[in-house]
């Protein structure tokens, strides 16, 4: 019996693959058998990751992509498909934030977050969606939002707005592209340890924050593996427009 988590022969493109969740997503998909295009602005980090994937006989292609530059998006998708064939799976992961009280956030910071997280995510989905429609084989688009799509994160208004947009974009694209057998779903991670926030969770304020969470813990990137593989594989063939919270109960808690 073929596993619904097997991705043998599939081509997955992961944006924001140079660090954090994107890096873990790329490793997970490669271990499941997918060829993986690693997309980000920092190609040196991508080369290192490609080497790590090659070490377990996976295949990975590093490409430079700036999701705030539409030409860069199309160039990267074209390069990926020339080398590895049509994209079957997109993990639309690039994201940034700008911590600032709402009354003080600058137009530049606001635009930086929205252009990356919302506008950039849409045009990446559009570029890959156009290819999937052209090739007529369907596909999987997995948009990475956040618990911030449904909950307020203090002093992070642009991030919250952008992730709410990604969540609603997921439903809109699912409605439009279902006829092409493209499943568009959304993964909303909770608080996950990454290289950017690791030090904070070791501080006294960080520990006090963890003590308020439903499970009194935060997640590791691998805690998202099961949901990612579900949405990337055949097990989600009858799922589209779905929002999966992987947050240890944070969304439904009173916290």
Would you name the residues annotated as active-site residues?
A: 159
Question: Is residue 212 classed as helix, strand or coil in its secondary structure?
Answer: coil
DSSP string, 85-97: -S--EEEE-----
Burial track 162-187 (b if 16+ CB lie within 10 A, e otherwise)? bbbbbbebbbebbeebeeeebbbbbb
Virtual torsion, Cα 149, 154, 156, 157, nearest 10 deg: 70
Q: Which of 76, 84, 54, 155 is nearest to 123 (CA)?
A: 76
Token pair in block for residue 79: 């390069």
Q: Kind of pairing, strands 243-246 and 182-189?
A: parallel
């Amino acid at each position: 019996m073929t596993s619904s988590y097997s991705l043998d022969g599939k081509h997955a493109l992961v944006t924001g693959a140079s660090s954090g969740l994107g890096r873990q997503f790329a490793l997970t998909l490669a271990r499941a058998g997918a060829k993986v295009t690693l997309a980000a602005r920092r190609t040196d980090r991508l080369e290192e990751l490609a080497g790590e994937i090659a070490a377990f006989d996976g295949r990975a292609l590093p490409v430079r992509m700036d999701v705030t530059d539409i030409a860069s998006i199309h160039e990267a998708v074209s390069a990926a498909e020339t080398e590895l064939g049509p994209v079957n799976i997109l993990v639309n992961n690039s994201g940034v934030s700008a911590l600032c009280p709402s009354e003080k956030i600058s137009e530049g910071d606001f635009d930086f977050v929205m252009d990356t997280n919302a506008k950039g995510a849409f045009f990446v989905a559009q570029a890959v969606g156009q290819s999937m429609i052209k090739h007529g084989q369907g596909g999987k688009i997995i948009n990475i939002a956040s618990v911030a799509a449904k909950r307020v994160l203090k002093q992070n208004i642009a991030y919250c707005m952008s992730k709410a947009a990604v969540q609603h974009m997921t439903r809109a694209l699912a409605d439009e592209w279902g006829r092409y057998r493209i499943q568009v779903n959304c993964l909303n991670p909770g608080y996950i340890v990454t290289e950017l926030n690791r030090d904070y969770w070791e501080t006294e304020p960080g520990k006090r924050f963890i003590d308020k969470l439903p499970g009194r813990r935060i997640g590791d990137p691998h805690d998202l593996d099961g949901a990612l593989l579900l949405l990337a594989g055949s097990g989600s063939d009858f799922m589209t427009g779905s929002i999966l919270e992987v947050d240890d109960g944070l969304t439904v808690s009173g916290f």
